[in-house]
Amino acid sequence: MEQYKTNGREINKEYCSFTDKFPIMLPPAPKQTYIDVYLEGDGSSSSQFDQEKRRQADYETEVTAYRSLEILDENIIVLHGFEFTHHQYRLWDVNHKRGSCSKCENAANRDGECDFIVIGRNYSVVIEVKNLPHDENQDVTTDKEKILKGLFQKSQKQRERTECLIASIVKQVFGETTPEQHRILTFSAFP
């Protein structure tokens, strides 16, 4: 527990103290993982190449959302790439039943993640960013509708798990709250 407190003090000192610049972005910038841009029609068509192009497009979509949040002139904290393990989740959920929970066997495994959490004075916003592949020369097809539905359902599951974690943290820290005292909003963004 002492290590958590030490880490919290270091984060507060580094990012949150003596600043009049808002919003506070944690981490300060998205990790750069792609150097090159794949050009359309460059002749590559392997499955691995297509997956790599998809990951880059997803990354670029998150960067677009990150940059949009970064320019807000609000007193907020933005957490990017928020991940938590089952152990971290169950620490906050007082109703968690360890004996009957199959996830507790591997509590160190990642239990949830969220692209962005925006923390304001009396609200939290959970934003899950999804990249919908599109071809501007093509009409929306049934396949694309299925893809959109699948992306939204995945996003909804991620948002609900993160919302539950935030609600548990708020309850543990502040006790019972009303929506006026702390509201949790969730969104799927398709920039």
Average pLDDT over every residue of 8-36: 65
Task: Please state whether beta strands 123-129 and 183-189 pair in parallel, antiparallel, or not at all (unpaired).
Answer: parallel
For 35, phi then psi, to 5°, come to -100, -50
Q: For residue 134, give the 3-state DSSP assignment.
A: coil
Does 135 have pLDDT greater than 60? no
Cα(106)–Cα(98) distance, integer angstroms:
11
Cα(90)–Cα(111) distance, integer angstroms:
10
Per mean pLDDT, which range of 121-130, 135-144, 174-183 is the poorest?
A: 135-144
Cα(33)–Cα(158) distance, integer angstroms:
23
Q: pLDDT grade, residue 162 (50/70/90)?
A: very high
Average pLDDT over every residue of 150-165: 91
Exposure on the CB side of residue 19, measured as CA atoms within 13 A: 15
Q: pLDDT grade, residue 123 (50/70/90)?
A: very high
- The β-bridge partners of 186 are 126
**Structure-model confidence comparison of residues 71 and 17, the more confident one:** 71
